[in-house]
Amino acid sequence: MAINKTYIHFTAYYQGEKYELQTYEGEYRNLMVLLYDKIYIEDFGECKGMGRCGTCVVKVEGLPAGMNTLERNEERTLYKMGIQSSELRLACQILVDENLKNINVEIIGGESLL
């Protein structure tokens, strides 16, 4: 029996470059891992997805309203960094699922807090 994969397309921007990306639910555990694998961003995600270092900060446009809820350590880490914008998130706290369809992600990164 073949498994039917629904592909998720979105656009990422990093250092003036535009990347049209494609994935499917379950291919990556979170947006940070996907971006690191597809674009290879040095020093991105230093805490390996714990939501503590702030090196995977992204500006996200087009996420459904329910996806703007900050997860785990994300709220505290963004607060320590002085970030209060609802468009700025930690990529490690965003799951790869259908909510990423047609979004725009600008990779900002950040200074490690560790």
Q: How far is CA 9 from CA 22, 24, 99, in A?
A: 5, 9, 10
Would you say residue 2 has pLDDT above 60?
no
**pLDDT digit string, tens, across residues 76-92:** 999 999 998 888 999 99
pLDDT confidence tier of residue 42, bands split at 50, 70 and 90: confident
Residue carrying the six token digits 């939501």: 51
Q: Looking at residue 9, what is its pLDDT?
A: 97
Output the pLDDT for position 51. Answer: 87
Q: Which domains does the chain have, with CATH numbers?
A: 10-107 (3.10.20.30)
Query: CA 85: distance to chain centroid?
Result: 15
Does 111 score more than 60 pLDDT? no
Predicted pLDDT at 72? 66
Rounded to whole angstroms, the Cα distance separating 50 from 74 reads: 9
**pLDDT mean over 95-114:** 81
Instruction: Return mean pLDDT, the chain.
Output: 88
Reported pTM: 0.88
What is the CB-side half-sphere exposure of residue 41 using CA atoms within 13 A?
27
